Amino acid sequence: QVQVVESGGGLVQAGGSLRLSCKVSGLRFDNYAMGWVRQAPGKEQEGLSCIEWSGGDTPHYSDSVKGRFTSSRDNAKDTLYLQMNSLKPEDTAMYYCATVRYANCRDSWTRDIGYWGQGTQVTVSS
């Protein structure tokens, strides 16, 4: 049984930082690219970043978080991370970790999700 469990969300002031973690079990973690997706109330789901299986290549980022968010992974710990700096109120959303169906990132990665986590709420106050 595959489990994807996010943690690290919370309430932070604008300009602050948070680090999300995502622990995966039940599959061979280093066989798959991993992604972070967020959804704010009333808005469409947004794919934030995709990191390929080894973490060696520069992750893909959406324009809205490029330069502020950094995705990384520790394959020895089956864990994905998202370091979020310079947070803005518009970053308020539920953040989801997801496995991707293949090892490398493609432009279509958000349509190729294997497993989702339950999400962790991030709230940024102004």
Confidence at residue 62, expressed as pLDDT on a 0 to 100 scale: 94
Contacts 24+ apart (CB under 8 A), 107-111: 109/33, 109/35, 109/47, 109/50, 109/60, 110/35, 110/37, 110/45, 110/47
User: pLDDT tens digits for 13-57?
Assistant: 999 999 999 999 999 999 999 999 999 999 999 999 999 999 888
Joined together, the tokens standing for residue 59 give 């992750």
Each residue's pLDDT tens digit, 83-119: 999 999 999 999 999 999 999 999 999 999 999 999 9
